[in-house]
């Protein structure tokens, strides 16, 4: 008996169904690729502009819009040269011809902000594709295209073979766009001036750029795809300040921390670490994007500026401004804890004769020698300042006036015995010192300084090279 045909067997999917499935896969790939790209692009610390071979801007990332105070529509479609200060264009004309020829151009430019003012930028530009030039200003916004068109094309694909061919064409275009987006993302990832790494929720480094690898290598650290706390091992790792833990638990959009890492040359490098969440297609945080910027030089300059603000540049002693601030602090502290506080006002005897005889360079050596010897004679809790010229002051903490007079006498004797070697010979000198209590009822700091200064004047009138205690 012949068997009946089995009508219940599953029929192979139609070409349209196969193509629809392929569309969904490609669409997901594009969306995931765009999600990764957008996170890197939006989180980049550099401003980024994309423009075509005619110099017309067609993409601008959030950072450049923030820096210029512009909206997207304020930039897109504008000529790059419209943003550049006219004087800059006169000095260095447009370099578009070099960029079109494939050259990289690094130049300083002033760009016009929305409010009409200008800001300086370190611009680095190069061609990254056909009719595409990327310029970095110290990422790129992918236009989300074709998503709705693809859905509509798939929905209508059942109506005709022609619609199916159109849908296939659109899918192929999307696939090409996804490849271009991935290429752009990779170039931006490696072109930014910061070191960047992507860390997943399981603490594994999934991606990092060349800048980070070089930065860490300079500090003796080999960056690799592994557990971040085993590779980076900096001071935030394993603590409650861990950036990944805080992003996941505190629901913060951005965290900045400064860390210090020792380098093989013995220096401690200071890095500014910025962490922002990495989202998946469902807007769930799946990790963080961390950027590392070496700010060691900036921190050293800040420390030096702070030092210069409170010290005399020639001798290294505190300056008058710092003296006044510290004097008021010590007066408040001594009054609070009922401890003694004494002021010394000191002047080099016949200092003009030193300059006239040996020269001003020798005079500078005398001033520096006086400060160095005074710092050795005084306690670390005492405060020594150069008020100006050859006039100095010292605040002796926890010291009564009589004790201060004895300390001043020891200092006077030490300075009298000091021999300063200069290019023009050995210089010896003496000092006169006035001593006054800094805690006197009803007297201001300026009035107490005046009393000590009067005692110093009396010391000079009595023949110099002596200590006088104010009444």
For the chain, domains (ranges, CATH) are 15-191 (3.30.450.20), 195-300 (3.30.450.20), 311-469 (3.30.70.270)
pLDDT in the model for residue 181: 45
Residue matched to tokens 């991935």: 182
* Residue 90: C-alpha distances to residues 93, 95, 120, 122 (Å): 6, 12, 16, 18
Q: How far apart are CA 376 and CA 186, in angstroms?
A: 59
pLDDT tens readout for residues 102-123: 888 888 889 999 999 999 988 8
pLDDT in the model for residue 6: 53
User: In which element (H, E) is residue 291 found?
Assistant: strand 285-294
pLDDT in the model for residue 300: 79
Q: How far apart are CA 411 and CA 388, in angstroms?
A: 19
pLDDT in the model for residue 376: 95
**Across the strands, what pairs with 227?**
204
* Residue 469: C-alpha distances to residues 114, 450, 452, 455, 460 (Å): 66, 13, 8, 6, 13
Q: How far apart are CA 151 and CA 142, in angstroms?
A: 19
pLDDT in the model for residue 168: 53
For residue 449, the Cα-to-chain-centroid distance in whole angstroms is 42
pLDDT in the model for residue 180: 46
Residue matched to tokens 């011809």: 97
pLDDT in the model for residue 438: 93
Question: What contacts 54, CB < 8 A, 6 or more positions away?
Answer: 79
Per-residue pLDDT of the chain (471 residues; tens, 9 = 90+): 455 555 555 567 777 777 777 778 777 776 776 666 666 667 777 888 899 999 999 988 888 899 999 998 999 999 989 999 999 889 888 888 888 888 888 888 899 999 999 999 888 888 888 888 888 888 333 333 434 454 454 555 455 455 545 655 555 555 455 444 444 445 555 556 688 888 887 888 878 888 778 877 877 788 777 787 777 777 777 777 787 778 777 777 788 888 787 777 777 888 888 888 877 767 777 788 888 888 878 877 877 777 777 889 899 999 999 999 999 999 999 999 999 999 999 999 999 999 999 999 999 999 999 999 999 999 999 999 999 999 999 999 999 999 999 999 999 999 999 999 999 899 999 999 999 999 888 889 999 999 999 999 999 999 999 999 998
pLDDT tens readout for residues 317-340: 999 999 999 999 999 999 999 999
Q: How far apart are CA 455 and CA 432, in angstroms?
A: 9
């Amino acid at each position: 008996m012949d068997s009946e045909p089995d009508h219940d067997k599953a029929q192979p999917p139609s070409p349209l169904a196969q193509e629809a499935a392929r569309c969904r896969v490609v669409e997901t790939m594009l969306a995931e690729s765009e999600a990764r790209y957008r996170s890197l692009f939006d989180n980049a610390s550099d401003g980024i502009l994309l423009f075509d071979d005619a110099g017309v801007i067609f993409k601008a990332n959030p950072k450049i819009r923030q820096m210029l105070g512009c909206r997207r529509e304020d930039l897109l479609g504008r000529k790059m040269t419209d943003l550049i200060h006219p004087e800059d264009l006169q000095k260095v004309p447009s370099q578009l011809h070099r960029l079109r020829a494939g050259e990289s151009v690094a130049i300083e430019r002033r760009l016009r902000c929305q409010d009409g003012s200008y800001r300086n930028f370190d611009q680095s530009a190069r061609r990254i594709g056909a009719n595409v030039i990327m310029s970095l200003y110290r990422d790129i916004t992918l236009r989300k295209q074709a998503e709705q068109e693809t859905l509509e094309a798939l929905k209508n694909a059942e109506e005709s073979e022609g619609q199916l061919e159109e849908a296939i064409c659109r899918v192929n275009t999307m696939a090409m766009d996804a490849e271009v987006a991935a290429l752009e993302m990779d170039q931006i990832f490696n072109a930014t001036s910061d070191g960047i790494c992507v860390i997943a929720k399981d603490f594994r480094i999934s991606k990092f750029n060349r800048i980070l690898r070089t930065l860490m290598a300079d500090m003796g650290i080999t960056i690799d795809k592994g557990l971040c706390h085993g590779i980076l091992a900096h001071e935030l790792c394993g603590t409650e300040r861990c950036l990944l833990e805080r992003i996941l638990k505190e629901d913060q959009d951005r965290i900045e921390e400064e860390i210090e890492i020792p380098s093989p040359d013995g220096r401690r490098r200071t890095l500014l670490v910025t962490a922002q969440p990495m989202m998946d297609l469902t807007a769930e945080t799946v990790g963080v994007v961390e950027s590392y910027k070496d700010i060691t030089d900036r921190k050293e300059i800040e420390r030096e500026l702070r030092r210069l603000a409170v010290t005399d540049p020639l001798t290294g002693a505190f300056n008058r401004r710092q003296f006044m601030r510290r004097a008021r602090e010590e007066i408040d502290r001594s009054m609070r804890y009922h401890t003694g506080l004494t002021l010394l006002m000191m002047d080099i005897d016949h200092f003009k004769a030193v300059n006239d005889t040996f020269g001003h360079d020798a005079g500078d050596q005398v001033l520096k020698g006086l400060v160095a010897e005074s710092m050795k004679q005084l306690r670390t809790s005492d405060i020594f300042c150069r008020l100006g010229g050859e006039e100095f002051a010292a605040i002796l903490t926890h010291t009564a006036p009589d004790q201060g007079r004895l300390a001043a006498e020891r200092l006077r004797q030490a300075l009298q015995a000091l021999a300063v070697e200069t290019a023009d010979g050995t210089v010896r000198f003496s000092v006169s010192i006035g001593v006054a209590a800094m805690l006197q009822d009803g007297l201001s700091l300026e009035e107490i300084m005046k009393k000590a200064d009067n005692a110093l004047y009396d010391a000079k009138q009595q023949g110099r090279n002596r200590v006088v205690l104010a009444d």
